[in-house]
Amino acid sequence: MQTPSPDSSSTTPTHSPQDKKKPKSKAKPWIITGSCVAAIAAAYFGGAAYVSSQVPANASIAGVNIGSMNKGQARSELEREVLPLAEKDIDVTVNGEKYTLDPAKAGLALNVDETINDLTSYEINPVELYERLTGDVHVDPAVDVDQEMLSTQLEALAKKANAELAEGAIEFKDGTAKLTKPVDGVVLKADEAASLISDEWEIAGPALTLPAEVTKPKISAESLQAFYDKDIKALLKDDVTLSSDKKKATISVESIVAAASYTPKDGAPAITLDDKKLYKAATKNSDLSSTAENAKIVLKDGKPSIVKSSKGVSLETEGLGAKVLAATADKKRTATVEMTETEAEFTTADAKKLGIKEPIVTFSTPYPASDKVRTKNLYAGSARVNGDIIKPGERFSLLEALGPITVANGYFSSGVVESGFSTEAVGGGLSQISTQMYNVGFLAGYDDITHKPHSRWFERYPAGREATLWEGQIDMIWENNTPYGVMIQAWVSGDKVNTRLWSTKYWDVSQKSSGKYNLTNPETKYNPAEKCVSESGGKKGFSIDITRYRETFDGSKKLPAETKSWTYSPWHKIVCGEKPKD
C-alpha cells in the first residue's frame, strides 16, 4: 500500500493557522476605525454644541470681560456694564476741532441679543473652536443705526463745524496791534461721515475723525503768528528817530501805529506805513517842520485879506514809510531822511478858491450893557469865534470854538437860566453868542445840525429863532453846504452884539413865522435853591413855528421848506424858599 505524498490532493481541505486569521485581521481595523471616528465626531460636535451654549473663554466687549458666561449671564453683564457706555456721547473731530454726538439722538444703539448671538453661534471651524475654548476673543458689539436720525444730527453738527474761509489780519489801533487768526474753510461731508460712523463706531472707543472738505487760508496761522512775534512786536517796541544833517524829529509809537496797515503780498504777511501820515507826525513842532508859509485869510480894516503863501524846504514824503519801517527792525531805531523844496500846504491859489470876498449875512441883537460881568463874557466869546474859517462841507461847533468854558480860559460867572429858574454859572451870557451864530447860519442857508432854543423867550431875540448853550450838553452846530468857504466876523459895539459872515453869496433865503399861539399864563413857583433869584414874572408862554425857504441865487437848486416849532414857558413869578404848606 502506497503512502500518499504531501502534494497529493485531498477532498478534505486543510487550513494553516495564518489563513484562519485572515478574515479576522481584515474586519477588526474597520470596526475600530469607524468607532473612533464616531466617538471623535460625537465629541467634536458635542464640543461645538457646548461652545454655542456659552460665551467663549476670555471674551470681552468694549473692555468688559464676559468670558465663559452663559447667554443669560452675558446678557445681564452687557446690559449692566456695556449698555451705559453705549449711551455716552460719541467723541468726533472735524478738521481737528472736537465735538460730541448724542447716540440716542443720532439713532445709534447697542443690540445686546445680536451681540450675544455673534459670540455663541454654532461653529464647527476647528480654529475658531480652539480660539473660543482657549484664546482671547474680542468682538465688536452689534449696533443698530437709524440712518435718518444720524443724518439729522450730522446736519446739526455741520452748522457748528462748517466755517467760511477767513484770512488772518492785523488791526492797528490806539497805539497797539491786534492779531486775528485765519479760519479754515470747512464743509462737513455728511454722507461720508454717516457711513464712517455706521461702520467704525466703537463703544467707549477713540474719537472718530469725520471727513470734511477743508480750504486753507493763503497765510497760515503759524506764519502770521511768527510775523507778529517778530515784525509787529519790533514795530511797537519804541519811538523812531528821523535824522537829516543836524535836524532830528521823533515819531512816537502811537503815530507809527496810526500810519500802519496790514498789506499781505504774494502769500506772505506784510505791513506798510502811510507816507503822508508819518510826514504829518514828523513835521509837527519839530526841526523837520516845513519852512514853507501857508496862505492866510485875515480880517484887515474890517474885511478879509489874503496873506500870500511862500515856498520852503520840508521833509521828503515819498518813501518815508519804508524808511521808518526799516528803522523799527534796527536796534538804533533811526532813519536817515532828506529835505526837499516844497510848496505850502495851503497856497494863495487855495485861499482865493474859497471865495471869501463879500459879506453875505450880518445879524445883531441888543444886550443889557448894565450887566458888566455878562458883557465880559460877550467880548470873550466874540473874540473866540472872530476870524474862524469854515471850509465847504465842514461844520461849525460853537462849543468847540469857545471851549473850555472856564475861568482859566477867560470867562466869568454870570446869570443863566437852569431848569426854568434864574441862577449863575461860568459863561453866563454866551447863549447870546449862540443865538448870533445860529441866526447867521440860518440866514446864510447853512444846514442846521443841532440847536436848542431857551426854555423861555427873551425879547432881545427873534421868537423861535434863537439858541441856548450849555457845555457838555447843548451845542449849536451848522454845516457849510456851499462850494465856498466862510469867515466869521464877530464883535461887540455900542449896545449890540454883531456877527457877519464873509463868503460868496449862494443861497437866497426867506423865512415865515406863524406868530404866537397856544398862549399860557404864568404861575407862582417856589425855588428852594441856595442861589435862588426871585422874579416878578408876568410874561405869557406860547408856541411858534418858523419856516425857512432856500434856493440858489441862480435858481439851479431848491431845497425843501423846513419848519421848526418851539414852545416857550411863561415867565412865572419866582418866590425863593419852600412852598408853604396848606
* pLDDT tens for each residue of 18-48: 333 333 334 444 444 554 444 444 444 444 4
53 vs 305: which has the higher pLDDT: 305
What are the respective helix, strand and coil percentages of the chain, to the nearest 5? 30, 30, 40
Q: What is the DSSP string of 299-317?
A: EETTEEEEEPPB-EEEE--
Contacts of 282 (CB under 8 A, 6+ apart): 242, 249, 251, 288, 315, 320
Pairwise CA distance, residues 74 & 397, whole Å: 87
99 with 157: CB under 8 angstroms? yes
pLDDT value at 183 more than 50: yes
Mean pLDDT of 232-251: 94
- Tell me the domain boundaries of the chain: 223-349, 354-576
What is the pLDDT, as a whole number, of residue 5?
A: 40
Place of cell 434864574: 422
Question: In whole angstroms, what is the distance from residue 321 CA to residue 182 CA?
Answer: 27
Q: What CA–CA distance (Å, rounded) separates 503 from 483?
A: 10
Q: What is the DSSP letter of 363?
A: E
Query: Cα 18 vs. chain centroid, distance in angstroms?
Result: 112
Q: Tens of pLDDT along 265-314?
A: 999 999 999 999 999 999 988 888 889 999 999 999 989 999 999 999 99
How much is the pLDDT for 131? 52
Q: Is the pLDDT confidence value at 11 over 90?
A: no
pLDDT tens digits for range 289-298? 889 999 999 9
DSSP-assigned letters across all residues of 188-226: E-HHHHHHHHHHH--TT-PPEE--EEEE--SS-HHHHHH
Residue 3: phi and psi, rounded to 5, are -85, 135
The three grid cell numbers given for residue 510, joined into one nine-digit string: 426867506
Region of poorest pLDDT, from 31-35, 202-206, 278-282, 460-464? 31-35
- To which residue does cell 523799527 refer? 328
Contact between 436 and 396 under an 8 Å Cβ cutoff? The reply is no
pLDDT the model gives residue 533: 82
Question: How confident is residue 572, by pLDDT bands cut at 50, 70 and 90?
Answer: confident
* The pLDDT of residue 568 is above 50: yes
- Could you tell me which residues come within 8 angstroms of residue 79 by beta carbon, excluding any fewer than 6 positions away? 112
CATH match of 223-349 with 3.40.50:
no
Q: Which residue has the higher pLDDT, 389 or 78?
A: 389
The predicted structure's pLDDT at residue 438: 98
**Cα-based distances in Å from 45 to 58, 355, 472:** 22, 116, 101
Q: How far is CA 406 from CA 379, 427, 531, in A?
A: 15, 7, 19
Q: Rounded distance, CA 411 to CA 424, Å?
A: 13
94 contacts 158 by C-beta, under 8 angstroms:
no
CA 363 to centroid of chain Cα atoms:
48
Indicate the pTM of the whole model: 0.60
pLDDT score of 123 more than 60: no
pLDDT digits (tens, 9 = 90+) for 367-426: 998 889 999 999 999 999 999 999 999 999 999 999 899 899 999 887 666 655 666 678
User: Residue 62: is its pLDDT beyond 80?
Assistant: no
More confident residue, 132 or 487: 487
For residue 556, name the pLDDT band (cuts at 50, 70, 90): very high
**What is the average pLDDT value for the chain, to the nearest integer?**
86
List 169's β-bridge partners, or say none: 180
* Type of residue at 473: Q
Across residues 98-109, what is the average pLDDT?
92
Confidence of residue 14 (pLDDT cuts 50, 70, 90): very low
